[in-house]
Amino acid sequence: MKAGKKRVAILISGGGSNMVTLAQDMLGDPSHAGAPVLVLSNIATAGGLEKARDLGIPTEIVDHKAHDTRETFDTELNAILRQYAPDVICLAGFMRILTPVFVDAWDGKVLNIHPSLLPKYKGLNTHARAIEAGDSEAGCSVHRVTAGLDDGPVLGQARVPIQMNDTTDGLAKRVLVQEHRLYPAVLRRFLAGENGLLRL
């Protein structure tokens, strides 16, 4: 890794498509300020781990089922992360609720992508809730991670119209396309110290 790059760790639980777009953006541009140093999953079978290995990025697994409490999971997570000395941690489909043990340790360094126009629809089933509410648009947000679930300052948002007779699957697919545009763009700005809201 080139000296002077910011070290970026990416945390996943699933297919890792957002992780891939972040990693490819960094790996494909020699002038990018960041470099992916770790992809970590709480699920050993997460498809994203294989994709990370294919991209030549080190991987780690921290199994939440091996822990009785969220705090001990977060303590192990912190210990593994420290070995990679990340400057920034990107949560990318990382489906664990994090406690202050994690959040306080990495204060100001953690980003998350959430598939709604925050502050609307924190938590799960965002697309179904947006359709059910009769909203005319949905979207995704990248925000800094603070103690509250899907809380923290929003750094970027992309909007997606909700169509007549839209389905959650159809909407989720269209939002995911925007997630893949938004997250790399926000990471670039964050690494450059820009904290204003990016609208795509």
How many angstroms separate the CA atoms of 78 and 61, rounded?
12
Task: Pick the closer one to ligand GRF by CB: 32 or 51.
Answer: 51
Residue 153 CB, nearest approach to ligand GRF (Å): 18
> Beta 6-12 vs 34-41: how paired, if at all?
parallel
Task: Pick the closer one to ligand GRF by CB: 19 or 40.
Answer: 19
Output the residue with the shortest Cβ distance to ligand GRF. 93
Residue 175 has which token pair? 């939002």
Cβ(10)–Cβ(81) under 8 Å?
A: no
Task: Pick the closer one to ligand GRF by CB: 75 or 120.
Answer: 120
Q: Where are the beta strands (DSSP E) in the chain?
A: 6-12, 34-41, 59-61, 88-91, 110-114, 137-144, 154-161, 198-199
Q: Is 67 a catalytic residue?
A: no
Catalytic residue among 64, 67, 114, 180: 114
Residue 141 CB, nearest approach to ligand GRF (Å): 9
Residue 149 CB, nearest approach to ligand GRF (Å): 12
Positions in the binding site for ligand GRF (CB under 6 A): 12, 14-19, 48, 92-93, 113-115, 176, 179
Cis peptide upstream of residue 119 (ω within 30 degrees of 0): yes
Catalytic residue positions? 114
